[in-house]
């Protein structure tokens, strides 16, 4: 078992969290849609696994490189 950390690509808001904790995701599945400067920026699972922890709240401000998710593979 390994843990993968998913960080934010942008500074903006955690516009829509698409998954919930404990959910199984495939590589490439959408985890969250961040929003910055009128753009939607989807973040996808880099590998298949289980969403172990969601580290942000929907609607919250996020900064570039903030930890968003921990995925257990």
Q: How far is the CB of 1 from another protein (least distance, A)?
A: 30
Q: Rounded to the nearest whole angstrom, what is the least distance from the CB of residue 65 to another protein in the complex?
A: 12
Alpha-carbon distance values, 16 to 2, 3, 8, 41, 73 (Å): 26, 23, 13, 10, 23
Determine what percent of the chain falls in helix, strand and coil, rounding each to the nearest 5.
Answer: 0, 55, 45
Evaluate whether 27 touches 46 at the Cβ level (below 8 Å).
yes
Residues 31-60: x/- map of binding to another protein (CB under 8 A)? Answer: -----xxxxxx-------------------
User: Of the listed pieces 5-13, 18-26, 46-54, 65-73, which binds another protein according to CB under 8 A?
Assistant: 5-13
Is 12 among the residues that bind another protein (CB under 8 A)?
yes
Contact residues for another protein, defined by CB under 8 A: 9-13, 36-41
């Amino acid at each position: 078992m390994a843990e993968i950390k998913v960080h934010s690509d942008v500074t903006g808001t955690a516009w829509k969290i698409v998954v919930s904790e404990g959910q199984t995701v495939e590589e490439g599945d959408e985890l969250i849609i961040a929003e910055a400067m009128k753009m939607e920026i989807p973040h996808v699972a880099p590998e298949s696994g289980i969403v172990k922890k969601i580290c942000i709240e929907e609607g919250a401000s996020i900064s570039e490189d903030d930890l968003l998710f921990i995925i257990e593979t």
